[in-house]
Amino acid sequence: MSKVAFLFPGQGSQFIGMGKELYERESVSKRIFDEADEALETKLSSLIFEGDAEELTLTYNAQPALLTTSIAILEKFKEAGITPDFTAGHSLGEYSALVAAGAISFKDAVYAVRKRGEFMNEAVPAGEGAMAAILGMDAEALQQVTDKVTEEGNLVQLANLNCPGQIVISGTAKGVELASEQAKENGAKRSIPLEVSGPFHSELMKPAAEKLAEVLDACELKDTNVPVISNVSADVMTEKEDIKAKLIEQLYSPVRFEETINKLIDEGVTVFIEIGPGKVLSGLVKKVNRRLKTIAVSDPETIELALQTLKEEYGNAE
């Protein structure tokens, strides 16, 4: 039987109105949005459904909003009796993957990612850090560029190793600018500055990681029910002590997404279900291996389609 992995998206996939139809139609999903409002003592659901797009994009709003929407969708899979063989997420999405794997409660997770967003926002003043996507260059060659720029006094490093030919760099604004220029001089096809509020997954996030450690100390972490592939190591993590350490390290380490997908392929996964708004991760999976089956689910219609497909083709629904 084919193995199935649930994938959960990170920042950038959010949009106003995501999950609203689920909230209105599905009681199990509505409960998740209500729980988020209660845990954060704010009407996060109102911001998600009819708020201001710029306000939703702020990292401390986007993170809990995406986690909440993803878990509201996940509830429909749980209701149908579907358990994945593995879970994984992209950056913030790793928290959704851990909720799905039973390692952390939704209530603890939504609080933790709100604080994570606040700490990330505070770590580097706006305008001092940056991120950029470098297209058409391999990791080794790009690493040489970022190492050289960093040695010359402008910190920049690989942040997201997404898929062949797409790597995001992160660091000081000057470091990212210089590395982008030098990458193009060394054969990169394009450099695209990202609209983000800080240099995520770089050493500049270490102050945020220290504060996050205290928040995670207050959360009840458990060993996972199903294996989760870590962003930091692109390997299986199941034990609570390892999970906490990896979540802290994740803030200033690269997201090894391409390696994560290859690890899942090695483990026998052939079906990847993206649970959350957008289709970003499905696109990245296809760039790693075109033959893989991807299903992006974000609303009642796509959930129904996914459940039907799993039932018919893979026998994963009870």
Marked catalytic residue, from 13, 45, 91, 96: 91
Q: How confident is the model at residue 126 (pLDDT cuts 50, 70, 90)?
A: confident
91 is catalytic: yes
Tell me the sheet residues that pair with 132: 169, 193
Q: What is the pLDDT of residues 27-80, one digit of tens each?
A: 999 999 999 999 999 999 999 999 999 999 999 999 999 999 999 999 999 999
Q: What angle, 0 to 180 degrees and rounded to 10, lies between the N-to-C axes of helices 106-123 and 206-217?
A: 160
| Architecture in CATH for domain 3-123+204-314 | 3-Layer(aba) Sandwich (3.40)
Domain boundaries of the chain, sorted by first residue: 3-123+204-314, 129-196
pLDDT value at position 17? 98
Task: Give the predicted TM-score (pTM) of the model.
Answer: 0.95
pLDDT value at position 273? 97
129-196 is classed CATH 3.30.70.250: yes
Indicate whether 259 pLDDT > 60: yes
90 is catalytic: no
Q: What is the pLDDT of residues 216-237, one digit of tens each?
A: 999 999 999 999 999 999 999 9
Marked catalytic residue, from 70, 180, 201, 230: 201
Indicate whether 313 pLDDT > 90: no
Q: How confident is the model at residue 198 (pLDDT cuts 50, 70, 90)?
A: confident
User: What are the φ and ψ backbone dihedral angles of 241, each rounded to 5 degrees?
Assistant: -65, -40
